[in-house]
Structure formats: C-alpha cells, structure tokens
Amino acid sequence: MRYEITKKFKFEAGHRVWKQNLTSGKGARLMEGEIPPNPCLNIHGHSYKVEVTVGSDTLNEQEMVIDFYHIKAALKDLIDNKLDHSFIIDKNDPLYPSFKEHFGFLKLFVVDFCPTAEALAKFIYDFLTEKLDEAGLLEDIKVVSVTVWETETGKAVYRGQ
C-alpha cells in the first residue's frame, strides 16, 4: 500500500485466557525451573487500545485513503456497544455455561476463540475487512493491520496477507 492511515480506539473489557499454561508451549523453554502461576486464567480486565491501519495505492477524490470518520463509523457499534464494558468470553471456555446461567445479567461478548490480544486483533481485522467488502470498498482499500494494546507495555499485531 502506498498510502496508509491509522485510527485509534479505546474500550474497557474483562476477559479470561482460559488456555494459559506457562509451563508448556514455545515460551516454557525461557523459564528457569520456577513454575509460575497462570495469572490470566483468572477473570481480569484491561483498558484496551486498538490501532486500525488501512491503506490504498490510490487516493479518493478528496485526496485521502478514506475519511477517519468512516473507519470510526464502521467500528463504532462493535467497539462502543458490544466490546466496551463487556466480559469477552470464549464459548468453548469451561466456565462459559456457568457464566451464561448465573451471570446472564452481565454484558457478555461471546466469541469462538480464546480472547487473547492476538486473537482479538485478528477478530477486529476480519470484522473491518467484512465491513469494507459489504460496502464495495475492498477493491480499493485494504486493512493493513490491527494492533491491540492490552497494557501500556504489551501489544499484539495482526497483519493480513
């Protein structure tokens, strides 16, 4: 893409990384004998920051990739009404049936993946790509990347092909 723009968003949400196991997987080799707890198995929350970058090889008649307002409008319902102040839970999480039964009054955002920053970045990427496709804009405008900041020091980035 010759031209790119980035729009930032913020939302507050809780989640649980129910698949976390610090003693297995690629990263376990970095540990030196100590078996730590798995803190993200616990219910916790973040002040998420999201950066969405879209691009095009050409500019429109207004000499822009797309107006920032349009990117905001495409993601407003998802971020402001569905994700913000929700509890993001994987429908495959063993706790999901209990949450659904006993905490149905909570604002649950049910997904089909373990809600890590990486998976949320891909989810938002796919969501915006679909919105651009529905509007007939995917020919000219592509989602370049989505970055999800969980903390001030930790982010995940998803880039499409």
The one catalytic residue among 15, 70, 114, 150: 150
The one catalytic residue among 15, 40, 70, 114: 40
Nearest to 13 by CA among 81, 77, 75, 84: 84
User: In this structure, what are the phi and psi dihedrals at residue 105, rounded to the nearest 5 degrees?
Assistant: -75, -15
In this predicted structure, what is the pLDDT of residue 49?
Answer: 98
Q: 3-159 — its CATH code?
A: 3.30.479.10
- Classify residue 97 by burial, with Cβ atoms within 10 Å: 0-12, 13-18, 19+: exposed
User: What are the residue boundaries of the structural domains of the chain, listed by start?
Assistant: 3-159
Question: Confidence band (pLDDT; 50, 70, 90) for 35?
Answer: low
* 18 pLDDT more than 70: yes
In this predicted structure, what is the pLDDT of residue 26?
Answer: 77
150 labelled catalytic: yes
pTM over 0.85: yes
pLDDT in tens, 123-137: 999 999 999 999 999
pLDDT in tens, 86-110: 999 999 999 999 999 988 788 999 9
Alpha helices in the chain (DSSP H): 68-76, 96-102, 117-134
4 labelled catalytic: no
Sheet holding 155-159, edge to edge: 108-111, 86-90, 3-15, 44-56, 142-149, 155-159
The string of DSSP letters for 138-160 reads TTT-EEEEEEEESSSS-EEEEE-
Give how far Cα 146 sits from Cα of 118, 119, 133, 161, Å. 9, 11, 17, 13
- Residues found in the chain: 161
In this predicted structure, what is the pLDDT of residue 50?
Answer: 98
The one catalytic residue among 12, 15, 85, 102: 85
Q: What is the mean pLDDT of residues 73-81?
A: 98
15 labelled catalytic: no
